[in-house]
Amino acid sequence: DTGVSQDPRHKITKRGQNVTFRCDPISEHNRLYWYRQTLGQGPEFLTYFQNEAQLEKSRLLSDRFSAERPKGSFSTLEIQRTEQGDSAMYLCASSSGQGATTQYFGPGTRLLVL
Amino acid sequence: EDQVTQSPEALRLQEGESSSLNCSYTVSGLRGLFWYRQDPGKGPEFLFTLYSAGEEKEKERLKATLTKKESFLHITAPKPEDSATYLCAVHGRSQGNLIFGKGTKLSVKP
């Protein structure tokens, strides 16, 4: 049984560069979520997909952030023109069904912007 | 505005010393309350889901309870391996996402 996987696990980049993260959800989970977590805080919601449709985006998701889930399976999160304030752990989660179902999280991608 | 507040921020226990963690919430139409455990540098690990007031769930040394305004995570006779940050989250009626508290960092000393 494979859980949610994320790649890469760590990323160091220079300010102004673009980065892309990948998330592979639990097989057949129709919902996929992206969260961001900084030190000492709980995860903060960024966006979520139901199948390939992006249904909700947080106000935290500036126009430098874009997420896709083209075939309703894996998802990518891209950050353009990175800023030091983007340094955080980016978490992906997936769930099945409708409504308030349990979300299962991946190991996260830790981003450091120098 | 929907909100989750966890207390205390940090808790130090001796091995075997039972205690409780609190999660207070305000949300328009609670559809579920979730407890997760998070180890340093890792993603949250699911523990429990509670859907209605009066509901209780147990797993090993952990027991979660829910009222209309708060939830408790009771830890009975903790061991050092229970040391982690425990996160509480709610799923409201108008949201597709979870709203998390800041967590309680638990340290259990042998």
Report whether B100 contacts B33 (CB < 8 A).
Answer: no
Close Cβ partners of A39 (under 8 Å, ≥ 6 residues apart): none
Q: Do B98 and A43 make contact, defined as CB atoms within 8 angstroms?
A: yes
Read off the pLDDT of residues B15-66 as tens digits, 9 standing for 90 and up.
Answer: 999 999 999 999 888 889 999 999 999 999 999 999 999 999 999 999 999 9
Mean of pLDDT values over A92-98: 90
Q: Do B96 and A55 make contact, defined as CB atoms within 8 angstroms?
A: yes
Q: Do B49 and A58 make contact, defined as CB atoms within 8 angstroms?
A: no
Radius of gyration of chain B (CA): 13
Q: Are strands A109-113 and B10-14 parallel, antiparallel or unpaired?
A: unpaired
List the single best residue of A1, A103, A104 to mutate versus B (max B Cβ within 10 A): A103
- Is pLDDT at B95 greater than 70 in this prediction? no
The predicted structure's pLDDT at residue B59: 95
Q: Do B46 and A105 make contact, defined as CB atoms within 8 angstroms?
A: yes
CA dist list (Å): B74 to A2, A9, A64, A92? 30, 33, 42, 28
A56 CA: distance to closest CA in chain B (Å): 7
CA dist list (Å): A29 to B28, B45, B93? 27, 17, 21
Q: Do B96 and A40 make contact, defined as CB atoms within 8 angstroms?
A: no
Assign A97 a pLDDT band (cuts: 50, 70, 90). Answer: confident
Q: Which of residues 75-104 of B touch A (CB under 8 A)?
A: 87, 89, 91, 95-103
Assign A99 a pLDDT band (cuts: 50, 70, 90). Answer: confident
- For residue A109, the cross-strand partners are A90
Read off the pLDDT of residues B6-21 as tens digits, 9 standing for 90 and up.
Answer: 999 999 999 999 999 9
Close Cβ partners of A104 (under 8 Å, ≥ 6 residues apart): A3, A4, A26, A29, A93, A94, A95, B46
Closest CA in chain A for residue B29: A100
Amino acid at B2: D
The predicted structure's pLDDT at residue B13: 98
Read off the pLDDT of residues A22-72 as tens digits, 9 standing for 90 and up.
Answer: 999 999 899 999 999 999 999 999 999 999 999 989 888 889 999 999 988
